[in-house]
Structure 1
Amino acid sequence: MDSSPHKLYHVHAFDSRQCLEQYFSDKPDMVFGEDSLKFPIDNLRQLFTVGHIKGDNLVDISLGSFIHHLYSASEFFKNIIVLKINNRCIMELKRWVDERTGAFYWGHTSTLLQEKEENSDQFEDKEGKVRSAIQHVVKYDLEKENMTDPLVLPPADCVISVWLLEAVSKDQDDYIRYLRKFSKLLKPGGHIILLGGLGATYFTVGKDKFHAFTSDAGFIRKTLVGEGFIIDYCKIKERTAVSDLIDYKTVIIISAHKEK
């Protein structure tokens, strides 16, 4: 039995639409815009546009059903394979991919990226590029040796994981074990990008409170190096949001490549 007083993301399903509304929407009372929208969009654009992270296949294994972290990636990868841990997240994402009625609105995030680019006066369909790049949305199981069994994924040039490891790891051992699983998805020399909150103990979706592993930058860096990665980029931002929905202290993005 798990002794945590909070629910676990990969054990207990949460309302994926509620998560989007609380942490990623354009509503006036959504206070996480600087941390959950602008910070990842700005830094991922910088990471991908320098030209070092590109290739055929990118695997996205992130929390919930958000897509804004894939805008820049869709410019540099032919295929994006999205892994989701439960059916509710898969349904929410496919509703957007298929442009069905009731899909979550992401226009406010594509505008954020457009404003950063030199050709911002020329409209470009950022969401359309992501839709075209997403080749598969696959359910996975963290406890299986091959997380997507019976499907075997092609080796990835890059794995990106946003807000997930903190949500599924009960302790340091879990974090290391799951990171190792993600690493096995990569080609030799492949890149991994991690983005999440530091110092958190919980996050809330609707009326439910979920466990978050309390990590710090030193532990993440040490873990990546221990798994054979060379760190290329790391940026930490102090929290700006005022809310008791989640208690992270800072947000981090870190990129590393696997030694060949």
Structure 2
Amino acid sequence: MDSSSHKHYHVHGFDSRKHLDDFFSDKSDMVFGEDALIFPIENLTNIFTRGHIKGDVLIDLSPGSFIHHLYAANEFFQHIIVLKVSDRCILELKRWLDTRTGAFDWGHATKLHVGIKGNSDQLQEKEEKLRSTIPHVVKCDLDKENLTDPMVLPPADCIISVWLLDVICKDEDDYRRYLRKFSRMLKPGGHLILIGCLGYSQYIIGKEKFHAFTYDEGFVRKALVGEGFVIDYCKVKKRTAVSDLVDYKDLICLAAHKEK
């Protein structure tokens, strides 16, 4: 497939609200509920409730403005620092953090966390807890060695990266290079959690086609081990969504820790 004309998320940006509406909403014609909402929620809940991954600082490095994956983490960390490459995505996320009019409604995702029978008070409490755990949304530059230069972040106990490496990496070397950057941001023994898509080459936001990096499970396992990580958890799931907006084949979630 000729992807030379495809845009790149971290270079060109995309319509963050359109991204949320098409891939994460509760609209009747939104077909990604199982893959984009339930898969991250179930796997991250499973990982964190084991009790091994916790601490003071968690850093989130994910594209767009989605936050549903962080509900599972906020019970185990004092602070969640969210890094974004796009001003548009930052503004969209801050609408939700500041409970502004017109913010994206994550109520359907909140229900998945507290259980479908959770009452409105429980849902509000869950959302307020997550908001209070995110003190900063920081713009970053992925090309820099220190992504937040000139700001220096404290070493993290854990980094979560959901679909970011899929949409910013050009090739295998790029993927390994970003893993090294993530590793330098972690404390010794710190944890890295990755969620991505296998057999992926493009996605569509609005009328624009964007590049995605194609890799398989064997590659990401070797890349993590090669960069000094020990894999503690891996789950692969076949795609269920029927849509021309993306062409991935499977979903993958991995948790690993950095060797001391």
Q: Tell me, which stretches of 5 or more residues in structure 2 are unaligned?
A: none
Match of 1:83 in 2: 83
Match of 1:153 in 2: 153
Displacement of 1:182 in angstroms is 1.2
Match of 2:211 in 1: 211
Match of 1:201 in 2: 201
Match of 1:37 in 2: 37
Match of 1:227 in 2: 227
Kept in 1: contact 2:111–2:118 (CA 8 A): no
The AA in structure 2 aligned to 1:152 is: V
Structure 2 CA distance, aligned partners of 1:158 and 1:4?
Answer: 35
1:121-136 equivalent positions in 2, closer than 5 A: 123-124=122-123, 125-136=125-136
The DSSP-based 3-state class of the residue aligned with 2:242 is coil
1:157-176 equivalent positions in 2, closer than 5 A: 157-176=157-176
The AA in structure 2 aligned to 1:134 is: I
Match of 2:10 in 1: 10
More deviation in 121-130 or 54-63? 121-130
The DSSP-based 3-state class of the residue aligned with 1:57 is strand
The DSSP-based 3-state class of the residue aligned with 1:40 is helix
The AA in structure 2 aligned to 1:47 is: I
Structure 1 CA distance, aligned partners of 2:4 and 2:190?
Answer: 35
Match of 1:65 in 2: 65
The AA in structure 2 aligned to 1:99 is: T
Kept in 1: contact 2:24–2:33 (CA 8 A): yes
The AA in structure 2 aligned to 1:126 is: K
Cα deviations by residue, 1:170-210 (Å, 9 ceiling, x for unpaired): 11111111111111110000000000111010011111110
Displacement of 1:120 in angstroms is 5.0
TM-score by length of 2: 0.96
The DSSP-based 3-state class of the residue aligned with 1:75 is coil
Structure 1 CA distance, aligned partners of 2:26 and 2:100?
Answer: 20
The AA in structure 1 aligned to 2:239 is: R
Q: Tell me, which stretches of 5 or more residues in structure 1 are unaligned?
A: none
Displacement of 1:19 in angstroms is 0.3
Kept in 1: contact 2:232–2:255 (CA 8 A): yes
- RMSD (Å), alpha carbons: 1.3
Kept in 1: contact 2:65–2:90 (CA 8 A): yes
Structure 1 CA distance, aligned partners of 2:170 and 2:122?
Answer: 44
Match of 2:244 in 1: 244
The AA in structure 2 aligned to 1:100 is: R
TM-score by length of 1: 0.96
Same amino acid, percent of matched pairs? 67
Match of 1:191 in 2: 191
The AA in structure 2 aligned to 1:38 is: I
Structure 1 CA distance, aligned partners of 2:166 and 2:183?
Answer: 16
Structure 2 CA distance, aligned partners of 1:134 and 1:146?
Answer: 21
The AA in structure 1 aligned to 2:84 is: K
Structure 2 CA distance, aligned partners of 1:184 and 1:99?
Answer: 34
Displacement of 1:5 in angstroms is 2.1
